[in-house]
Amino acid sequence: MELGLSTSDVKLITIIQQVCSVLSLVGCLFIITTFCLCDAFHKPINRLVFYASFGNIMASICFIMADSFIDAPDGAGCQTQAFLLHTFVGADALWTLAMAINVYLAFYYRFDAQRLRKMELPYLLLCYGIPFLPAFIFIFIKNGDGVRVYGSAVQWCWITSSWDTLRIATFYGPIWVIIAITLAIYIRSGGTIYRKRQQLLKAQGSGSGGLSYAHQSTVNNIKTTEVTITSEAATQPDAIRLQNMGHQVTVHAIGEHAEPQPPQPIARVTSTMPQPVQRPAVRPSNDR
């Protein structure tokens, strides 16, 4: 058995893989359903997850098939399974990179939701188109002995061990590079966010200290003025008309004409200032 695994080991791994694939399939269907039914999820990052879910569904179906076609490596079933796996598993890594690029564009180049949405068509073409090309070409390639690229890969149909270099060159290698670029984008964005947050905290700390000192200085020099406002009739002779003190009369415009508002009650303003307390003078005593 290839990889030093016994038949029982391969069977156990296959069962675990199928169970996980079923859970993945259910999760993808849930994502698609919630996206279609709830407008609140129609955001750029959620839209990319929505597009990636279709590829994950195809990959999960292929993993659920498992080793159903490995006994006929040249058959249509095995070749189709290998083609779908190579296309959609690789596309999943590209979609994670697209999400990271969206974060980079929004954070460093101020892309809004409208500009990010224009990037979705290129993302669709690249994320599914790049892995599609080699996956489709491999269907027609054979070596000198007539061995196809796609065939038995122990647990499913994929690139056979006779073509190991193609696994590294067209699958594992590009995925490792994609993971490295994605991590670099998130690490840089996280570092920038952390530095900006530290600067904001320092600015808030220095600003609050200055405000508290100014507030204390103001409180020490504050003076209290009591103001009493009394509404009285307009006929009283000693009343103070607010209109005569510079207050404007409020008017309501109706069409092209403006009508003045009815006269307002007259207010009397009385300012009461606290009087200083007179202390008696202290005379020196003549008693000794």
Label residues 38-71 b or e (16+ Cβ within 10 Å = b): eeeeeebeebbbbbbbebbbbbbbbbbbbbebbe
10 has pLDDT over 80: yes
Mean pLDDT of 124-131: 96
Residue that has been written with the tokens 């508002």 in this structure: 261
Residue that has been written with the tokens 């498992």 in this structure: 66
Mean pLDDT of 158-179: 94
At 151, give phi and psi (nearest 5°).
-175, -155
**Cα–Cα distances in Å, from 286 out to 94, 283?**
104, 9
Concatenate the DSSP letters of all residues of 216-250 into one string. Answer: HHHHHT----EEEEEEE-TT-TTPPPTGGGTPPPP
Mean pLDDT estimate for the chain: 79
Q: Which domains does the chain have, with CATH numbers?
A: 2-204 (1.20.1070.10)
Q: Give tens-digit pLDDT for 59-103.
A: 999 999 988 899 999 999 999 999 999 999 999 999 999 999 999
* Helix 44-65 with 76-108: angle, nearest 10 deg: 160
242 has pLDDT over 50: no
pTM over 0.95: no
